[in-house]
Amino acid sequence: MMDEGTELSVTIAQIVQKLKGSNLHSQLERQAKECLQRPEIQLEDLKEDVKEFLKKSGKKHLKCWETKLQNAVYRELNVLPPPSHPEAPAEHIKEPLAYMRKAQGSWEKRILKSLNSMCTELSIPLARKRPGNEQKELLSKWNEMGTDEPDLSHFRPVYAPKDFLEVLINLRNPNYDSSDQPSSKSHWGLIQVPLKVKDIPELRESFAELGLNSGQLGIDDTTQVPADMFESEHAGIGRKVLIEQDSAAAEQYIRQGCPNELRAELWALILNATNEPEDILYYEQLKSGVLHHDLLVDNLIYKDVKLTASNDDYYFVFEDYLYQVLLCFSRDTVVLEHFNYNSATPPKSYIQGKLGLEDYAVVYPPNGVIPFHGFSMYVAPLCFLYNEPSKLYTVFREMYVRYFFRLHSISSFSSGIVSLCLQFESLLQTHLPQLFYHLREIGAQPLRIAFKWMVRAFSGYLATDQLLLLWDRVLGYNSLEILAVLAAAVFAFRAQNLMEVTSLAAAEAVLADLSTLKVMPLLQIFLFATIM
Amino acid sequence: MSKKTMVHKGPGYQKKREGEPRSCIRFKCTLINTIQDVLRQRAGWVEVKDDSEWDFYWCDVGWLRENFDHIYMEEHVRICHFRNHYELTRKNLMVKNLKRYRKLLEREAGRQEAAKCDFFPRTFELPCEYHLFVEEFKRSPGSTWIMKPVARSQGKGIFLFRKLKDIMDWKKDGNRSEDQKDETQVESYVAQRYIENPYLIGGRKFDLRVYVLVTSYVPLKAWLYRDGFARFSLTRFSLSCIDDHYVHLTNVAIQKTAPDYDPEKGCKWQMQQLRRYLSARHGAERVEALFRNIDGIFIRSLQSVQKVIINDKHCFELYGYDILLDQALKPWLIEVNASPSLTASSQEDYELKCRLLEDTLHVVDMEGRLTGKEKQIGGFDLMWNDGPVSKDDVNLDALGSSTLTANTHLGYVNDRKTQLRQLLKPLPGQKKV
Helix, strand or coil, per DSSP, at residue A290: helix
Is residue B57 very low, low, confident or very high in pLDDT (cuts 50, 70, 90)?
very high
Whether A313 contacts chain B with CB within 8 A: yes
Backbone angles phi, psi at B264, to 5 degrees: -75, -30
Cβ atoms of residues B229 and B208 within 8 Å: yes
d(C-alpha B320, C-alpha B210), whole Å: 6
Q: Which residues of B264-275 are buried (b: 16+ CB within 10 A; e: fewer)?
A: eebbbbbbbbbb
d(Cα A481, Cα B305) in Å, to the nearest integer?
A: 59
Identify which of B236, B269, B413 has the shortest CB distance to residue A314: B269
- What does the pLDDT read at residue A362? 81
Q: How many CB atoms lie within 10 A of CB B220?
A: 20
Residues with Cβ within 8 Å of A327's Cβ and at least 6 positions away in sequence, in order, are: A290, A298, A301
Q: What is the pLDDT of residues B10-46, one digit of tens each?
A: 444 444 555 555 568 999 998 888 999 999 999 899 9
Provide the whole-model pTM: 0.84
Residue A43 pLDDT > 80, yes or no? no
| B405 reaches A (C-beta below 8 A) | no
Interface test with B, best of A317, A319, A384, A386 (most B CBs within 10 A): A317
CB contact under 8 Å between A387 and B283, yes or no, is no
**Residue type at position B93:** L
* Residue A526 sits at the chain B interface (C-beta within 8 Å): no
Residue type, B201: I
CB-based burial label for A219 (10 Å; 0-12, 13-18, 19+): buried
Please report, for chain B, how many H helices and E strands are present, in that order.
Answer: 14, 16
Is residue A263 less than 8 Å (CB to CB) from chain B? Answer: yes
- Return d(Cα A393, Cα A334) in angstroms, integer: 13
The three-point CA angle A300-A301-A303 to 5° equals 65
Cα–Cα distance, A12 to B355 (Å, whole number):
60
Q: How far is A264 from chain B (nearest CA, A)?
A: 8
Instruction: Return the percentage of chain A with pLDDT > 90, whole number.
Output: 44
Measured between CA atoms, the residue of chain B closest to residue A389 is B202
Q: Which of B387, B357, B385, B358 is nearest to B373 (CA)?
A: B385
One-character DSSP codes across B40-77: HHSTTEEE--TT---SEEE--HHHHHHHGGG----TT-
Q: Name the strand (E) or helix (H) holding B146.
A: strand B145-149
Count chain A–chain B contacts defined by CB atoms under 8 A: 52
B279 contacts chain A (CB < 8 A): yes
d(CA A497, CA A495): 6
Beta bridge partners of B320: B211, B337
SS3 assignment, position B8: coil
Q: Which residues of chain A does B265 touch, with a Cβ-Cβ cutoff of 8 Å?
A: 310-311, 313, 316
For residue A144, name the pLDDT band (cuts at 50, 70, 90). confident
Mean pLDDT of the region A280-291: 94
Report the candidate in A407, A419, A415, A441 with the shortest Cα–Cα distance to residue A188.
Answer: A441
Per-residue pLDDT at A35 exceeds 80: no
Nearest to A318 among B202, B264, B268 (CB): B202
Size of chain B, expressed as the number of residues it contains: 433
**Mean pLDDT of chain A, nearest integer:** 86
Taking each continuous run of H as one helix and of E as one strand, the counts in chain A are 24, 4
Interface of A with B in 45-74 (CB under 8 A): none
Q: In terms of CA atoms, which chain B residue is nearest residue A141?
A: B236
**Segment B380-424, tens digit of pLDDT:** 999 999 999 988 765 545 545 555 688 999 988 888 998 998 888
Question: For residues A462 and A515, is the Cβ–Cβ distance under 8 A?
Answer: yes
Q: How many CB atoms lie within 10 A of CB B246?
A: 18
Average confidence (pLDDT) over A133-155: 84
Return d(Cα A226, Cα B396) in angstroms, integer: 15
ipTM of the complex: 0.80
**Tens of pLDDT, residues B219-241:** 999 999 999 999 988 777 777 65
The tens digit of pLDDT for each residue in A394-413 reads: 999 999 999 999 999 999 99
B350 against A78, higher pLDDT: B350
Partner B contacted by A260 (CB < 8 A): yes
* B413 contacts chain A (CB < 8 A): yes
Torsion of CA A345, A350, A354, A356, to 10 degrees: 20
CA distance B43 to B26: 11
The reported pLDDT for the residue numbered B181 is 47
DSSP-derived secondary structure for A7-50: HHHHHHHHHHHHHHTSHHHHHHHHHHHHHTTSTT--STTHHHHH
Kindly report, residue by residue over B282-312, the tens digit of the pLDDT.
988 899 999 999 999 999 999 999 999 999 9
C-beta separation of B344 from B353 below 8 A: yes
Mean pLDDT (chain B, rounded): 82
pLDDT tens track for B407-416: 999 988 888 9
Q: Looking at residue A230, what is its pLDDT?
A: 79
Query: For A147, which of B202, B236, B279 is closest by C-beta distance?
Result: B236
Residue A220, number of CB atoms within 10 A of its CB? 18
Residues in chain A: 532
Q: Which residue has the higher pLDDT, A150 or A434?
A: A434
The span from the CA of B262 to the CA of A272, in Å, is 40
**Which residue, B376, B378, B372, is CA-closest to B389?**
B376
Nearest CA to A35 among A23, A20, A51?
Answer: A51
SS3 B189: strand
3-state secondary structure B313-347: CCECEEEEEEEEEECCCCEEEEEEECCCCCCCCCH
Largest CA distance in chain A: 82
Integer Cα distance of B392 and B414 in angstroms: 18
The torsion of the CA quartet B197, B346, A315, B247, rounded to 10 degrees, works out to: -30
Residue type, A479: S
Q: What is the pLDDT of residues A264-277, one digit of tens each?
A: 999 999 998 988 88
Instruction: Tell whether A515 is within 8 A of chain B (Cβ).
Output: no
Pairing of strands B145-149, B189-193: antiparallel
The answer to whether residue B280 neighbours chain A at the CB level (below 8 Å) is: yes
Note the pLDDT of residue A380: 95
Helix (H, G, I), strand (E, B) or coil at A452: helix
pLDDT in tens, A64-104: 777 888 888 888 888 777 666 767 777 888 888 889 999 99
| Chain A contact set for B273 (CB, 8 A) | 314, 464
Contact at 8 Å (CB) between A301 and A369?
A: no
Q: Is the pLDDT assigned to residue B265 strictly greater than 60?
A: no
Cα angle: A272, vertex A275, A280; to 5 degrees: 135
DSSP lists the bridge partners of residue B319 as B212
For residues A235-239, give the mean pLDDT.
90
On whether the CB atoms of residues A435 and A491 are closer than 8 A, the answer is yes
B282 neighbourhood in chain A, CB within 8 Å: 261
* Amino acid in position A18: K
Contacts of residue A313 in chain B, CB cutoff 8 Å? 265-266, 268-269, 348
Q: In what order do the strands lie in the sheet with B45-47?
A: B45-47, B25-29, B56-58, B78-79
